[in-house]
Amino acid sequence: MIKGADTVVVATKNAGKVKEFAHAFARMGWQVRSMFDYDGMPDIVEDGLTFADNARIKALEVAEALGLPALADDSGLEVEALGGAPGVYSARYAGEGADDGRNNAKLLAELGRLGPLPEADGPDGLPDGVRALSRARFVCALALYDPADRSFRETVGYADGWVLDRPLGQGGFGYDPLFWVPAYGLTMGQLSTDEKQSISHRGRALERLLAELSQTGLNARK
Ligand SMILES: O=P(O)(O)OP(=O)(O)OP(=O)(O)OC[C@H]1O[C@@H](n2cnc3c(O)ncnc32)[C@H](O)[C@@H]1O
Ligand SMILES: [Mg+2]
């Protein structure tokens, strides 16, 4: 993030995100540290109304606790047939402390009530017997906060796809096995980390952030 620096602090406790950021920054020779690597991290209440609000909350609290710039990611799945749910509640869709399995089960239950889309309205190329339940998109808001000059840098990335009626693949995390990516004809759970990065909401938001930083450097905008 900073010229000459080789460590990026990511304000997250999600091991799946840490893996993806570590993979992305390794290309530049940068190491990633997360909230797992420090003692005394704040207990963050993500009570923002938008992904961007929550990303700013996480970046600010961790950066201030450490006295270092911190990058935060707030992300989630917006499902068309559910009016944009689970959205900012994606991590706790099935209740506070819910794991990926319970959140995925809840998503299938909610969409199951509506039934599958007519085949003609879904994406092409689904495996035999698999049906799409709704269009959906992943959203990722990134916020990088530098406590030295109290500046925020922010970007957003999106990935469009479909929710399927069953999980396929074991890769990634969260809702990945249920999320069909038309460009690959596979779910995000079936993609390698590199492939996911190339089309994911997180990969796109990060690409934008890095492009901006390479133009202006970290401290250019206040
Ligand atoms: O807040 P931190 O500590 O970063 O970790 P978190 O898991 O709570 O992260 P969020 O608050 O941003 O909630 C995002 C949820 O949205 C889902 N999600 C986000 N990005 C995803 C991805 O790339 N693939 C699958 N699911 C994703 C997943 O369920 C996450 O738990
Ligand atoms: Mg969270």
pLDDT in tens, 136-150: 999 999 999 999 999
Task: Give the closest ligand to the alpha carbon of residue 62.
Answer: 1
- Catalytic-labelled residue, pool 37, 39, 53, 74: 74
Does position 219 have pLDDT exceeding 80, yes or no? Answer: no
Kindly list the strands in the beta sheet with 151-164, ordered across the sheet, starting from the edge strand earlier in the chain: 31-34, 7-10, 70-79, 132-146, 151-164, 179-181, 186-187
Strands 31-34 and 70-79: unpaired
Confidence category of residue 32, pLDDT binned at 50, 70, 90: very high
Q: Whose CA is nearest to atom 1 of ligand 1?
A: 12
The answer to whether residues 76 and 139 touch, using CB atoms and an 8 Å cutoff, is yes
What are the residue ranges spanned by the domains of the chain? 7-216
Does position 220 have pLDDT exceeding 50, yes or no? Answer: no
Comparing 139-143, 153-157, 202-206, 212-216, which segment has the lowest mean pLDDT? 212-216
**Radius of gyration of the CA atoms of the chain, in A:** 18
The answer to whether residues 10 and 23 touch, using CB atoms and an 8 Å cutoff, is no
Confidence category of residue 53, pLDDT binned at 50, 70, 90: very high
- What's the rounded Cα separation, in Å, for the pair 97 and 28? 34
- 206 Cα to the center of ligand 2, angstroms: 18
Q: Given this model, what pLDDT does residue 5 score?
A: 62
Element (H, E) at 102: helix 100-112
Cis peptide before 86 (omega within 30 of 0): yes
pTM higher than 0.90, yes or no? yes
**CATH class of the domain at 7-216:** alpha beta
Does position 177 have pLDDT exceeding 70, yes or no? Answer: yes
